Amino acid sequence: GAVVSQHPSWVICKSGTSVKIECRSLDFQATTMFWYRQFPKQSLMLMATSNEGSKATYEQGVEKDKFLINHASLTLSTLTVTSAHPEDSSFYICSATGTTNTGELFFGEGSRLTVL
């Protein structure tokens, strides 16, 4: 099946710094990528939808200036958590759909962010 790779798998940073998470589709062109956040024992919450070459669409309550999403190519989307704070500590997961779409979303392995 299609492969989506996410990097880094975990990151620890100091409060106030920015962290970039990459999401790559390895064997297909991802026209649309989705970014989710999951707090412990809670559901995945969609943060934003990004289409290649256009601005991301953010879900209600998600600050677009804090969570910068770039989808500049058909194989790469990045999420940058700017000025991270401890409450941003979470599991961030991307998913992608595109040229091999079969109705299934393919997820990256997730990135666990801990902000000290």
Partner 1 sequence: RKEVEQDPGPFNVPEGATVAFNCTYSNSASQSFFWYRQDCRKEPKLLMSVYSSGNEDGRFTAQLNRASQYISLLIRDSKLSDSATYLCVVNPPGYSSASKIIFGSGTRLSIRP
| Residues near partner 1 (CB under 8 A) | 32, 34, 41-46, 49, 91, 93, 97, 101-105, 107-110, 112
Q: In what order do the strands lie in the sheet with 19-25?
A: 4-7, 19-25, 76-81, 67-73
User: Measured at the alpha carbon of residue 116, what is the angle toward residues 35 and 94, in degrees to the nearest 5?
Assistant: 10
Minimum Å gap between C-beta 83 and partner 1 is: 26
Q: Considering beta carbons, is residue 57 or 73 the nearer one to partner 1?
A: 57
**Least Å distance between CB 76 and partner 1?**
18
CA–CA dist 31, 99 (Å, integer): 7
Q: How far is the CB of 59 from partner 1 (least distance, A)?
A: 9
Query: Toward partner 1, which CB reaches closer, 9 or 73?
Result: 9
Nearer to partner 1, 61 or 103 (CB): 103
Q: How many CB atoms lie within 10 A of CB 67?
A: 19
In 3D, which of 78, 53, 51 has the Cα closest to residue 67? 78
Nearer to partner 1, 66 or 98 (CB): 98
Encoded tokens for 86: 């401890």
Rounded least distance, CB 109 to partner 1, Å? 5
